[in-house]
Structure 1
Amino acid sequence: MLPDILVLNASLMGHRLLVDMDMAEFDAHINMNVKGPLFFVQSATQDMKPGTQIIFVSTTLMRVSSMQLMALLYASLKGAVKQLVQVLAQDLGVRGMTVKVIVPGAVDTPLFRAGKPPHLICWVASLHSQNRIPHPDEISPLVAFVV
């Protein structure tokens, strides 16, 4: 029998400086990036068996020292996801479930490209070993391998 697999990949990516941020934007981002995944895992795992694999997809932005200032909200909340994964791994581990995070770096999606000038996209591509931003279909084999 195959284990249950849950992959959490939904995200919002805001592009504002602190001075331009408002409470509604913060709430939308925290709901999508932290609160939603937490309570989705809580609900989904009630019926899941030992052997369940839970995979969060996150970002490498938490490890980049030359981060864009406008990534404040996104990177901060992905830092919260990192901590969430560490605690959930312990919490659900006692039930025989595994919680992991993969951080593939930037992925070439409409969300990633939204509002970014071409020079920034080129700079991000230069950070990748192949000098390009991978597409979503290149990430799914990574998820399959981790499971």
Structure 2
Amino acid sequence: MKTALVTGSSRGIGAAIVRRLERDGVKVRGHDSGQADLSTMEGIGKALEGIGTLDILVNNAAAPPAGPIETDTPESFDHLMAVNVRAPYFLIQRARMNDGGRIITVSSVATRMANPAQTSFAMTKGALETMSRTLAQQLGPRGITVNVVAPGATKTPDNREVFTPELEAAIASLTAHRRLGTADDIADVVAFLASDDARWVTGQVLDASGGLFLGPRTRGGSMGR
């Protein structure tokens, strides 16, 4: 039986990832901030406490955007960097990964679009994408794949209040599928990367946004309809 650690697993996308991996027969160790504060090195160690070797590590936990540069503070910036960048980096360093393992980190489409309200947040996710490409090269000889999943707007039971009908309609109109993502949408992509089927995929960023901001729509409707 394969073993996995999923950070930020108490709700939302993280909880969906746990459920999906368990359906695939994976023994999952979950984590939430109440168990281990990933903004500290002590918390990083605690998240790995009692775990032997791992086949799958999913870096999902993240601090939310701290706002535009005008209102950001050194304290909020440092916290964001600690949770979103330092924690995944040192979890990977300290995890005892089995050969042929899978390291999957959750990024965001914020890295490929300009959103002034998420500047520092996007910086952290960009750092993770660079980290993953580099580690894919380093860990490849051991058969370990290192990939990134980049969700777009994803509606979960925990954040549904944020998506007013007007906001949901506006964002949905910018996706190819004309809807928001769900936690299960993202979990299925993570599960693919964690599977044996993804053994030849490494160093990649998989966009899981339903085609958010692909470009302007053409008039005339869908082909064949």
Provide TM-score, normalisation by structure 2: 0.57
1:139 is the counterpart of 2:186: yes
Amino acid in structure 1 at the alignment position of 2:84 = N
C-alpha displacement at 1:138, in angstroms? 2.0
The answer to whether the 8 A contact 1:106-1:112 is kept is no
CA distance 1:68–1:128, change in 2 (3 Å): same
The answer to whether the 8 A contact 2:104-2:146 is kept is yes
Amino acid in structure 2 at the alignment position of 1:10 = A
1:54 is the counterpart of 2:103: yes
Q: CA-to-partner distance for each residue in 1:99-145, whole Å, 9 max, x for gaps? A: 0111132221446865x776444332222222221111222111112
Rg comparison, structure with higher value: 2
RMSD: 2.3
For the residues of structure 2 that align with 1:145 and 1:20, how far apart are their CA atoms?
39
Provide TM-score, normalisation by structure 1: 0.83
Q: Partner of 1:7: helix, strand, or coil?
A: strand
Moved over 2 A (4+): 109-114, 116-130
CA distance 1:68–1:113, change in 2 (3 Å): farther
Q: Partner of 2:125: helix, strand, or coil?
A: helix
CA distance 1:120–1:7, change in 2 (3 Å): same
Amino acid in structure 1 at the alignment position of 2:91 = F
Amino acid in structure 2 at the alignment position of 1:52 = G
CA distance 1:36–1:111, change in 2 (3 Å): farther
Q: Percent identity?
A: 36
CA distance 1:39–1:90, change in 2 (3 Å): same
Any gaps of 5 or more consecutive residues in structure 1? none
The structure with more strand, counted as a fraction of residues: 2
Which among 119, 123, 141 is matched to residue 94 of structure 1?
141
The answer to whether the 8 A contact 1:13-1:111 is kept is no
The answer to whether the 8 A contact 2:102-2:146 is kept is yes
CA distance 1:123–1:75, change in 2 (3 Å): farther
The structure with more helix, counted as a fraction of residues: 1
C-alpha displacement at 1:15, in angstroms? 4.3
For the residues of structure 2 that align with 1:57 and 1:111, how far apart are their CA atoms?
17
C-alpha displacement at 1:63, in angstroms? 1.5
Which residue does the alignment assign to 1:32? 83
**Does 1 or 2 have the higher relative contact order (CA < 8 Å, sep 6+)?**
1
Amino acid in structure 2 at the alignment position of 1:6 = L
Any gaps of 5 or more consecutive residues in structure 2? 4-54, 195-225
Q: Partner of 1:11: helix, strand, or coil?
A: coil
Q: Partner of 1:70: helix, strand, or coil?
A: helix
Structure 1 stretch displaced more, 79-88 or 133-142: 133-142
CA distance 1:113–1:84, change in 2 (3 Å): farther
Q: Partner of 1:19: helix, strand, or coil?
A: coil
